Amino acid sequence: MPEQNNLEKIPIRIFPNETGELSIEIAKIIAQKIKENNQAGEKTVLGLATGHTPLDVYRELVRMRQEEGLSFKNVITFNLDEYYGVPPEEHRSYHRFMMENLFNYLDIEKENIHIPDGLVSQNQISQYCADYEKAIEQTGGIDTQILGIGRDGHIGFNEPGSPMDSKTRLITLDEITRKDAVSDFNEIKFVPKQALTMGVSSILSAKQIILIARGDHKAKIIKETVEGPVADKITASHLQEHPNTIIFADQAAASELTRIKTPWLCGPVDWVDKKLAYGAICYLSQKLQKPLSELSESDLKENQMAELLKNHQLLSLTEEIVENLKAKIKSKQDLPTEKKILIFAPHPDDDVISLGATIKKLIDNKNQIVSVYMTPGYTAVFDYAVENFLLQLEKIHLAFDFEDKFQSIRENIRQFLQKKNASPFGSLDTPEVLRVKTVIRMVEAISACEFLGVQKYEFLEMPFYRTGGAKKMPIREGDIQMVFNVLNKYQPDIIFAADDLNDPHGTHRLCLSAIKQALAQYQGKPQIWFYRGAWQEYHPGEANVFIPLTKEEVEIKRKSIFRHQSQKDTPPIPGASDLEFWQRAEIRNKATADLLKLYGIGDYEAVEAFKVKAVG
């Protein structure tokens, strides 16, 4: 059963990050309902969502069908939504997503699959939506409804302001939703402006609702949904009115819940736990904007921490925290020297974005560094960069009178890009275009490496990434083997691995999974330095190594990021921010430094943070 307190108005179960436990548990619930209804000779009606969030659930259901014989012949499905104006065969349509990720692998009857028709004519929309509602009612209603949640709290495509009594309808997508979809459509101009969606009332009519939330970027809205009041501006909050709703969240998505972040506000806690006490004191310092050494007993009493004083002497505790944090500060002479180091970067710029200054320090310390780029990152290259690149090649050929063998390729690409940009939703790039985008990012990565002094690099182009689009395949043996081969080749003493899980494509999460699975097979025991920075940053309480940066080192890091010209000037994936990656990195590094300064640890220009652990 989910843990719950009086602040949480919806039951919520919390699962470890990066594991399949959450998805497996949900798949088991669905499978059990199907089996029970099959035995009773009854139909099972499922409400389904699309996108990255439920993908692992669908993969587990496919596995159950293929390996355990779970039958879907008596299952009827209704999908939540579909982009309006998008043909079902279009590679970004929800219809195609569902077929390619679930229905094509099940024994479900085609007439039992219901997905909103994005091509229904304008004058028929009202009747079509009413018929969709009627079709659900005629089945006896949805048994289990699967939901994701948007950063603004939308469920289905019920944007903020959607009333509780809303039914299936055509809706205009708001700016946040369309920005979040850029990662699927590559450019905002290709993102549809409207969608068909089940209404809030349609969703609440389900007998059981399961909402899935993953990642830190969902933490704030999960807290508001679960602990805040019911309000149209946060559509998901209406789930508080449903008698059988449960939220399945990973630790990252649950991190802002009061019982996780500030559990003493929920009731008595075990203040003997030093980790809890440390966290509470740092939280209070941040809340009151007072250095740790200046916190008083009155501050604790006024903020519901009086019981902490029965187990700890405040002065002693703050001194311990300060000394503990100071011990984590590592200057250049404290860093490894003459070691073999592998830096695994999910995309070709994640290394310099997250630890560019640290890389330079490690180079200066005579470490042998190899940057390993796990994917080509071509989905984040704008088409104009391809045109510019090919034009540069053409002019170089003319300037040096080279024999020109690529005119036909350039013409093919030019014609494709013209058609792509004339189409309403774009299209998947051809292999030629993907190859050019791959080369662009490869050249930029090599340039950044050489700027910092990294002499060796590997470009893996892992199989899971080879979809041509934003959605990725699951990690399989071929991906793990690639990482394993690199480990065997270089026999590292230390590896760096990206640990930020907010990347909208899920690439960082998948790359980390491949690294961990490869390490499980690898005989060596390298030290692992986990890093963040591209999409999120470690809080000082999470990190155990802080590397201060001077103003000059911040400038070096910025210049190394600037070597990735295709990622500059316009954010390739706006997501939660319209800032470029170099700006995000500097803001986060400065924020870490400012927080350490607030605590009374030191005054630094910027700080790169890491979580270091040994394998085994």
Torsion of CA 418, 463, 347, 339, to 10 degrees: -150
- What pLDDT is stored for residue 563 in this prediction? 94
pLDDT of 576 higher than 80: no
- What pLDDT is stored for residue 1 in this prediction? 39
Put residue 366 in one of left, alpha, beta given phi > 0 → left and psi -120 to 50 → alpha.
left
- What pLDDT is stored for residue 268 in this prediction? 92
Q: Is residue 168 part of a domain?
A: yes
**Euclidean distance between CA atoms 386 and 436, whole angstroms:** 7
Number of domains in the chain: 3
Q: Is residue 401 part of a domain?
A: no
List of residues 6+ apart from 425 with CB closer than 8 A: 86, 90, 92, 185, 190, 192
Residue ending a domain, choose from 258, 290, 312 = 258
Q: Kindly report, residue by residue over 499-512, the tens digit of the pLDDT.
A: 876 666 678 888 99
Q: Three-state DSSP class for 454?
A: coil
- What pLDDT is stored for residue 615 in this prediction? 62
Q: Kindly report, residue by residue over 145-194, the tens digit of the pLDDT.
A: 999 999 899 999 999 999 999 999 999 998 888 887 877 777 788 889 99
The helix or strand, by DSSP H or E, that contains position 219, with its residue range, turns out to be helix 219-227
Q: Is residue 415 part of a domain?
A: no
- What pLDDT is stored for residue 384 in this prediction? 85
- Domain residues for the domain of 52 are 12-258
**The one-letter amino acid at 469:** G
CATH number where 203 lies: 3.40.50.1360
**Euclidean distance between CA atoms 203 and 188, whole angstroms:** 29
Residue ending a domain, choose from 210, 237, 258 = 258
- What pLDDT is stored for residue 409 in this prediction? 76
Structure tokens at 103: 């229905």
Say if residue 244 is in the same domain as residue 266: no
Residue ending a domain, choose from 208, 228, 258 = 258
Report, as an integer, the average pLDDT of 265-287: 94
Alpha-carbon separation of residue 54 from 61, 70, 473 (angstroms): 11, 19, 13
Say if residue 564 is in the same domain as residue 453: yes
pLDDT of 38 higher than 50: yes
Q: 368-402: string of b/e by CB count within 10 Å (b at 16+)? A: bbbbbbbbbbbbbbbbebbeebbeebeeeeeeeee
Q: Is residue 167 part of a domain?
A: yes
Q: Is residue 354 part of a domain?
A: yes
Q: Is residue 422 part of a domain?
A: no
* Strand order through the sheet with 169-172: 81-83, 194-197, 169-172
Report, as an integer, the average pLDDT of 289-311: 95
Do 500 and 512 meet the contact criterion of CB atoms below 8 Å apart?
no
Say if residue 574 is in the same domain as residue 445: yes
pLDDT of 304 higher than 80: yes
Say if residue 198 is in the same domain as residue 309: no
Say if residue 282 is in the same domain as residue 300: yes
To the query of whether residue 159 is one of the catalytic residues in this protein, the response is yes
Q: Is residue 357 part of a domain?
A: yes
Say if residue 242 is in the same domain as residue 291: no
Say if residue 67 is in the same domain as residue 157: yes
**Euclidean distance between CA atoms 501 and 26, whole angstroms:** 21
pLDDT bin (cut points 50, 70, 90) of residue 420 is confident
Structure tokens at 41: 């000779």
Angle between helices 551-562 and 350-364 (to 10 degrees): 130
340-345 and 368-373 beta bridge pairing = parallel
Say if residue 313 is in the same domain as residue 457: no
The helix or strand, by DSSP H or E, that contains position 130, with its residue range, turns out to be helix 125-138
Q: 564-593: string of b/e by CB count within 10 Å (b at 16+)? A: bebbeeebbbbbbeeebbbebbbebbbebb
pLDDT of 573 higher than 60: no
pLDDT of 391 higher than 90: no
Report, as an integer, the average pLDDT of 468-495: 89
Say if residue 174 is in the same domain as residue 210: yes
Which single residue is written with the structure tokens 């790169």?
608
| DSSP state string for 566-608 | GGSSS-SS-TT--S-HHHHHHHHHHHHHHHHHHHTS---SEEE
Residue 136: which of 109, 153, 156, 116 has the closest Cα? 116
Say if residue 293 is in the same domain as residue 344: no
Torsion of CA 154, 156, 157, 163, to 10 degrees: -60
Active-site choice (82, 159, 444, 537):
159
CATH number where 493 lies: 3.40.50.10320
Q: Is residue 197 part of a domain?
A: yes
- What pLDDT is stored for residue 349 in this prediction? 94
Say if residue 70 is in the same domain as residue 116: yes
Report, as an integer, the average pLDDT of 508-533: 93
- What pLDDT is stored for residue 484 in this prediction? 97
pLDDT of 88 higher than 60: yes
pLDDT bin (cut points 50, 70, 90) of residue 299 is very high
Q: Which residue has the higher pLDDT, 398 or 285?
A: 285
**Euclidean distance between CA atoms 52 and 204, whole angstroms:** 23
Structure tokens at 111: 């007439």
pTM: 0.85
Q: Across all residues in the chain, what is the average pLDDT?
A: 91
| DSSP state string for 388-409 | HHHHHHHHHHHHHT-----HHH
Say if residue 463 is in the same domain as residue 482: yes
Do 130 and 138 meet the contact criterion of CB atoms below 8 Å apart?
no
Query: Within 13 Å of residue 571, how many CA atoms lie on the same side as its CB?
Result: 19
Structure tokens at 314: 């405040």
Torsion of CA 324, 330, 334, 335, to 10 degrees: 120
Which single residue is written with the structure tokens 């310092």?
285
Structure tokens at 270: 């075990």
